[in-house]
Amino acid sequence: MDITEAIVLLMRLKKQMWNIMPLTMEYEIKAVNKGIEALEKQIPKKPAIYKDTRDLFDLNGNVTGTYETDVIECPFCGEYLLDLAAYTEYQEILNYCNRCGQALEFSEVQENENEKKRTD
């Protein structure tokens, strides 16, 4: 049984529980919902990538300027993961969000990195 099949099975179970005794099964239905949510996080999702303006700081913590960069965010919780420029250094260890545990899928980012290498 794969993750998707398990999610479908849990959704059916939740529906059956709701149809039998919706009020007395409230706690059990919440537990099933948590199980569905945990399984859904195991399905890799593409992270959000967007342009952002960041501050530059000197050694004393004073802002000395700004720069624009592409950042990578978790698609589930919105947690900042890293700048796209640093992706190649961390691609081996960045498989899950540090905050919520969402599995991440970077095939699109990897294709763009490979394309850049070919054109350089």
Confidence band for 6, pLDDT divided at 50, 70 and 90: very high
64-91 pLDDT per residue, tens: 999 898 999 999 999 998 888 888 777 7
Residue 34 has pLDDT above 60, yes or no: yes
State mean pLDDT over 42-52.
92
Other Cβ atoms closer than 10 A to 87:
20
Nearest to 88 by CA among 72, 75, 103: 72
* Among 62, 12, 56, 51, residue whose Cα is nearest residue 32: 12
pTM: 0.69
pLDDT: which is higher, 83 or 36 = 36
Q: Do residues 106 and 81 lie in contact, with contact meaning Cβ atoms separated by under 8 Å?
A: no
